[in-house]
């Protein structure tokens, strides 16, 4: 049995492919884009800056999960579609 802690062994291939192809929710992506543009212009309040930090953490977590899903698919011999 493979004990690689990065593998998502409890997920089906369909679930792994869906996760590997997932994106940030459209509303969250729009908000992230807006906050990033406004941060460049130094127009964020401290509350908005905290919101931006939370959204960036969500993106980081999603990227890590997508990477683990692709890695698991690769270990199973399935190639994920790159988006």
Q: How confident is the model at residue 79 (pLDDT cuts 50, 70, 90)?
A: confident
Q: Which domain holds residue 56?
A: 13-75
Number of domains within the chain: 1
User: Has residue 81 been placed in a domain?
Assistant: no
pLDDT at 2 over 60: no
Answer yes or no: pTM beyond 0.75: yes
pLDDT digits (tens, 9 = 90+) for 12-60: 999 999 999 999 999 999 999 999 999 999 999 999 999 999 999 999 9
Residue closest to 51 by CA, chosen among 74, 27, 75, 72:
27
Looking at residue 70, what is its pLDDT? 95
Looking at residue 82, what is its pLDDT? 57
Residues 62, 22 contacting (CB under 8 angstroms): yes
CA-based radius of gyration for the chain: 16
User: Has residue 2 been placed in a domain?
Assistant: no
């Amino acid at each position: 049995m493979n004990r690689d802690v990065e593998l998502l062994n409890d997920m089906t291939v369909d679930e792994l492919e869906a996760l590997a192809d997932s994106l940030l929710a459209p509303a969250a992506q729009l908000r992230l884009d807006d906050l990033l543009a406004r941060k460049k212009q130094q127009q964020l309040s401290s509350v908005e800056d905290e919101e931006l930090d939370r959204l960036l953490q969500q993106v980081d977590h999603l990227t890590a999960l997508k990477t683990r899903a692709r890695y698991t698919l690769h270990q199973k011999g399935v190639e994920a579609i790159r988006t």
